[in-house]
Amino acid sequence: MTARAQSTIVRQPYGTTTAGVAVDMFTMTNANGMEVKIITYGGIITAIRVPDRYGNMANVALGFNSLHDYEAKNPYFGCIVGRFANRIANATFTLDGKTYTLAPNEGPNTLHGGNVGFDKRVWEASETPSDAGVALRLHYLSPDGEEGYPGNLDVTVVYTLTDSNALRIDYAAATDAPTVLNLTNHSYFNLAGEGMGAIFDHILMIDADRYTPVDATLIPTGELAPVAGTPFDFRVPKAIGPGQRSNHPQVVVARGYDQNFVLNRPDPHDDLLMLAARVYEPGFGRVMEVWTTEPGIQFYAGNFLDATLVGASGHIYRQSDGFCLETQRFPDAPNQPGFPSAVLRPGERYATATVFKFATD
């Protein structure tokens, strides 16, 4: 009988930020040899190594191989996004009659938490016991007023790698004043392998009958539009390529796929972990499923990758060389009364989960 390999988690120094803060890397390996690397800067997943249908391993997550690159020019590769993933219109919102001013960092709007979001913070990290696999606990205390958001916010993110090749992310938070919150992970995937070119042939399913159309600055209009008859209909799996080059006005305005899908859930506020999306890469046979408790998912096809970044394996990243499936509350939810709430109040516990399940076909 062959002894079953043990899952492990190993901590090692990764570098020092320009501000002089030490950053560590954790390497989690499961019993099958699947490997996930996470750094304490931004809680960034720098690599996810999974087998293809022949058993060959490759890294399917876009990223860099130095802390300097992550600090200097990261387009949100692999990071934890907060306090508010996606956009808030005109960098402002009103809660309980009080108006808050945020940092505009994309035209008039705020994107992904502002100038120094959770993706640029160094998180406290420790291995944490888990029945489900090896687990890394990241913790960050965001002070009242940080980037304009109210409330002292205590945030914990746990990454768990299971022996069934699933990477689970549990987000938890509590606040001492009413605030808004929308946490996600911004990994870019290429199931053929990072640096292997465009993801046009990937076959995508998203379980969503509707999506949230946007205006010229990518802020939702408030409408929940049907996907039927549009490039956004992924209810029956189809290749990403044709829609990514479509002349549909919503594709044109976003330069490709960059839309929030309204996941088919019985209740947008329930906390059931449900299958949201499935991606299959026919060449190597890797499959990734995304399960989440969240009501929305942003499908972004790397439209802003413009050949100015060199990735971990030494290849230039061009447009559509990776895709993101960012589980989330809907964009601009704090200003959209018709959207599921993104408000967190003292005494409440923010708790969401997203699981990336890897397999082959």
Catalog residues that contact ligand GLA under the rule CB under 6 A: 75-76, 86, 111, 258, 298, 300, 304, 324, 326
Residue 170, SS3? Answer: strand
Token pair 């890897």: residue: 358
CA distances (Å), 91 to each of 94, 104, 241, in order? Answer: 11, 5, 33
Instruction: Measure the CA–CA gap between 327 and 211, rounded to whole angstroms.
Output: 13
Residue nearest to ligand GLA (CB): 300
Inter-residue contact 80 to 182 (CB < 8 Å): no
Q: Minimum distance between the CB of residue 254 and ligand GLA, rounded to whole angstroms? A: 7
Q: Minimum distance between the CB of residue 117 and ligand GLA, rounded to whole angstroms? A: 11
Q: Minimum distance between the CB of residue 213 and ligand GLA, rounded to whole angstroms? A: 14
Tokens of 353: 């989960």
Instruction: Measure the CA–CA gap between 142 and 152, rounded to whole angstroms.
Output: 6
| Close Cβ partners of 122 (under 8 Å, ≥ 6 residues apart) | 17, 21, 23, 40, 41
Residue 186 appears among annotated catalytic residues: yes
Q: Which of 146, 147, 186, 289 is catalytic?
A: 186
Pick between residue 117 and residue 133 the one whose CB is nearest to ligand GLA: 117
Pick between residue 87 and residue 137 the one whose CB is nearest to ligand GLA: 87
Pick between residue 31 and residue 224 the one whose CB is nearest to ligand GLA: 224
Instruction: Measure the CA–CA gap between 64 and 238, rounded to whole angstroms.
Output: 30
Nearest Cα residue to 9 out of 27, 32, 22:
27
Pick between residue 292 and residue 298 the one whose CB is nearest to ligand GLA: 298
Pick between residue 30 and residue 109 the one whose CB is nearest to ligand GLA: 109
Nearest Cα residue to 333 out of 84, 58, 14:
84
Tokens of 221: 């209009």
Residue 35 appears among annotated catalytic residues: no
Tokens of 286: 């890797």
Pick between residue 111 and residue 136 the one whose CB is nearest to ligand GLA: 111
Instruction: Measure the CA–CA gap between 329 and 183, rounded to whole angstroms.
Output: 8
Q: Minimum distance between the CB of residue 296 and ligand GLA, rounded to whole angstroms? A: 11
Q: Which of 146, 147, 294, 326 is catalytic?
A: 326
Query: Residues of 18-51 as b/e, b for ≥16 C-beta within 10 angstroms?
Result: eeeeebbbbbbbbbbebbbbbbbbbbbbbbbbbb
What are all long-range contacts of 229-232, with beta carbons under 8 Å and residues at least 24 apart? 231/257, 232/208, 232/259, 232/261
Instruction: Measure the CA–CA gap between 231 and 300, rounded to whole angstroms.
Output: 13
Q: Which of the residues are catalytic?
A: 186, 326
